[in-house]
Chain A
Amino acid sequence: MTDYAPLRLHVPEPTGRPGCKTDFSYLHLSPAGEVRKPAIDVEPAQTTDLAFSLVRVLDDQGNAVGPWAPELSHEQLLRGMRLMLKTRIFDARMLTAQRQKKMSFYMQCLGEEAIATAHTMALRDGDMTFPTYRQQGILITRDYPLKDMICQLLSNEQDPLKGRQLPIMYSSREKGFFSISGNLATQFIQAVGWGMASAIKGDTKISSAWIGDGATAESDFHTALTFAHVYRAPVILNVVNNQWAISTFQAIAGGEGTTFANRGVGCGIASLRVDGNDFLAVYAASQWAAERARRGHGPSLIEWVTYRAGPHSTSDDPSKYRPADDWTNFPLGDPIARLKQHLIGLGIWSDEQQEALQKELEAEVIAAQKQAERHGSLVDGHVFSAANLFDDVYKDLPEHLRRQRQELGV
């Protein structure tokens, strides 16, 4: 006889499945303005409380409250609105283009627009970002031409990546946007290496690393935290917790009963958990972490709490694994609606202006799309010549690739 009951394997489940309602109480939200703002040279171990609470600036009425309320000019706030809206309109338009079979694949960042845009506004030119496939807001904030983005999506004759990459895997050194890889998490440690390089050279540039909640389970998440901590690298380690990794709820990535921000504290990295749908909080936390890195106080980890409002990609149907109306119940709302409420409260914005901006940006995206489509697409066969498929494997074309190119007859 044994005193022990049989052991059982615990497999986390989301509370909401199709046809049910998600219980979002697991998020542990703090009221706006309540979480303290530490000095930028805070000891990492002194951020434990911050890793379990939630930095928020905008309250339910749209007022900016508490110590994290950033000093942003009206012009900057309006720019933020424009960038978020532009990102959302771009996504919507490209989603339609994919449905029209103009491009093979697309991924939206619906609901996550505040994070990449406000964060990038807090960076400086020359800071390098190491994004995932869901930070198109970085390119938009840094004024990368929409036409070039769409040419990449169409894999056409003006695709900056010459048709070598899947749609959305952008790259722009000039805009500080590192080449996106399909392999998850790899860029997280690379960002740390880039920051180490900046420190080795006595530079003042910092790097910004990006990862999703699901990908934190990849081993490179851990290598990045370890190296960032060991070498005190000037890097901001951004974890975008949108609650979902394709069909997998964040609990199965290790989010149950803990936070991703807390992983940072455990590795000796100052960590924050921030409302990712609060444009002001995103800007303030990013600015804090950037300043901390730039002053040589070391890395920061920020968990951005948000919700992946759209499908994972154009190949995904979320109604098969989560409630259809989940986003409307997500307690942190919509980043665009929340900033709009704030701007109206400040008396610098109106429904009419929002509508006019929407129309203006729609026209801008449509114009860029028309420009891009003039250069063809994968569908109509106007792609880069096959001769270029052998280039850039190495710096110079080696003999075996020269022979293979001849064999193809190009």
Chain B
Amino acid sequence: MNAVNQQHENAQAVTSMTMIQALRSAMDVMLERDDNVVVFGQDVGYFGGVFRCTEGLQKKYGTSRVFDAPISESGIIGAAVGMGAYGLRPVVEIQFADYVYPATDQLVSEAARIRYRSVNDFTVPMVVRMPCGGGIYGGQTHSQSPEAMFTQVCGLRTVMPSNPYDAKGLLIACIENDDPVIFLEPKRLYNGPFDGHHDRPVTPWSKHPASQVPEGYYSVPLDKAAIARPGNELTVLTYGTTVYVAQTAAEETGIDAEIIDLRSLWPLDLDTIVESVKKTGRCVIVHEATRTCGYGAELMSLVQEHCFHHLEAPIARVTGWDTPYPHAQEWDYFPGPARVGAAFKRAMEV
């Protein structure tokens, strides 16, 4: 939990929330606070979203603030760009990150560029929420992690929370931010933390301290990483579900890893990364997304550029394989604690 926001917590009632409830609470708070905030997407209105993230919002704020959209990703994003140009703050949902591709033109060519190409004449203060990630037997089109498609687009911000507290605080920060933001939500973490041990029952968020979420307004700063586990032997750069995988791998291997939950993928918190790697001299990068040209490659480059003389071992990556996300082979694909732990050990042996 973030010390910066301690004052907010002290000032208001705190409730145990799942990630779903925390995200819904963030949208509720911002719909209440700012008349220009509108929420829409496929099944988002009356039904409250296929993941329940917008449940009750339409009833509370009316159909002109929270509404259902046609099944058209480029239509949803394109309309939101126009609304942003008018002066609204659209918070739109793409049902699965796997289905964002039809909107690529609107995101890359338009949302990301309009401020630049118009010299601030027009801006797009938009948030695009999209459930991402695997580990749920989602197969090829319900499991992808397309963050590298966005981190390489200049003008976009890409953010991914890993717990209810951050989910609400980061989403509020993103809605208030004047840049277009891709807000990736690991659906594997919607109902509880998950460390890759699919053979064990999943614990609900209520057993985890980060489920304690203030009911009202607070924010978690963008471009600021969190140290999920302090350590001295090895730096782990990760985000989303693999934060918990890395924590479990550290426990199981007994390696004193410093696990950094990046939270903001791009722009990112380089200082925290560099400080940690300079301290530990070793770095392992973990993400679910496929390896080649994945976001991990950029992290490797940055660490190599900024920490070269401090490195005592090659930087390692544990990622999804360079294959489409399979269904039956879920746990051979997903980078679980065994694979991550093995990488930790190799990094220490060099």
User: Interface of A with B (CB < 8 Å)?
Assistant: 128, 130, 160-162, 164-165, 169, 171-173, 178-179, 181-183, 186, 189-201, 207, 219-220, 223-224, 226-227, 230, 392-395, 398-400
Contact = CB atoms under 8 A, between A and B. Distances in A.
A189 B74 contact: yes
Interface stretch (B83-91, B233-241, B334-342): B83-91
Nearest to B113: A181
A199 B82 CA distance: 13
A207 B79 CA distance: 12
Given A223-B75, A227-B75, A392-B119, A191 B82 contact: yes
B116 A189 contact: no
A273 B115 CA distance: 35
B119 A193 contact: no
Interface stretch (B17-25, B101-109, B189-197): B101-109
B122 A178 contact: yes
Nearest to A162: B119
B98 interface: no
A392 B115 contact: yes
B308 to A, nearest CB: 16
Nearest to A395: B178
Contacts of B179: 394-395
Interface of B: 38, 64-65, 69-70, 72, 74-75, 78-88, 90, 102, 105-106, 109-110, 113-123, 154-155, 157, 177-179, 223, 267, 270
Contacts of B115: 392-395
Nearest to B67: A231
24 contacts: A130-B82, A165-B117, A171-B117, A178-B122, A183-B105, A189-B78, A189-B81, A189-B82, A189-B106, A190-B81, A193-B81, A193-B85, A194-B85, A197-B82, A200-B88, A220-B75, A223-B75, A223-B78, A224-B78, A226-B70, A227-B69, A394-B179, A394-B267, A395-B178
Given A161-B117, A172-B121, A220-B78, A186 B157 contact: no
A200 B70 contact: no
Contacts of A181: 109-110, 113, 117
A219 B102 contact: yes
Contacts of B74: 189, 219-220, 223
Nearest to A384: B119
Nearest to A183: B109
Contact of B116 (A186, A197, A219, A393): A393
A226 B74 CA distance: 12
Given A198-B86, A226-B72, A398-B267, A192 B117 contact: no
Contacts of A164: 116-117, 119
A128 B85 contact: yes
A193 B80 CA distance: 6
Nearest to A172: B121
A203 to B, nearest CB: 8
Contacts of B65: 200
A197 B117 contact: no
A393 B154 contact: yes
A173 B270 contact: no
A178 B86 CA distance: 10
B86 to A, nearest CB: 4
B79 A128 contact: no
Contacts, number: 142
Given A186-B109, A197-B87, A395-B123, A161 B78 contact: no
Given A197-B86, A219-B74, A227-B70, 11 more contacts: A181-B117, A186-B105, A189-B79, A193-B85, A196-B79, A196-B82, A200-B83, A219-B102, A220-B74, A226-B70, A394-B267
A394 B223 CA distance: 13
Contacts of B117: 161, 164-165, 169, 171, 179, 181
Best-surrounded residue of A128, A181, A190, A200 (most CB of chain B within 10 A): A190
Best-surrounded residue of B75, B80, B122, B155 (most CB of chain A within 10 A): B75
A190 B78 contact: yes
Contact of B64 (A178, A200, A393, A394): A200
Best-surrounded residue of B117, B154, B179 (most CB of chain A within 10 A): B117
B120 A392 contact: yes
B75 A161 contact: no
Given A179-B114, A393-B154, A190 B102 contact: no
A193 B122 contact: no
Contact of B83 (A160, A179, A194): A194
Contacts of A194: 82-83, 85-86
Given A181-B110, A393-B115, A189 B75 contact: yes
B178 A399 contact: no
B295 to A, nearest CB: 14
Nearest to A188: B78
Contacts of A190: 78-79, 81-82, 85, 110
A394 B86 contact: no
B281 to A, nearest CB: 24
A220 B73 CA distance: 10
B253 to A, nearest CB: 33
B221 to A, nearest CB: 13
A192 B40 CA distance: 15
A128 B65 CA distance: 22
Contacts of A197: 38, 82-83, 86-88
Best-surrounded residue of A392, A395, A400 (most CB of chain B within 10 A): A392
B118 A161 contact: yes
Contacts of B88: 197, 200-201
Contacts of A173: 118, 121-122
A162 to B, nearest CB: 5
Contacts of A227: 69-70, 72, 75, 79
A383 B267 CA distance: 29
A186 B106 contact: yes
A399 B83 CA distance: 29
Contacts of A207: 82
Contacts of B121: 171-173, 179
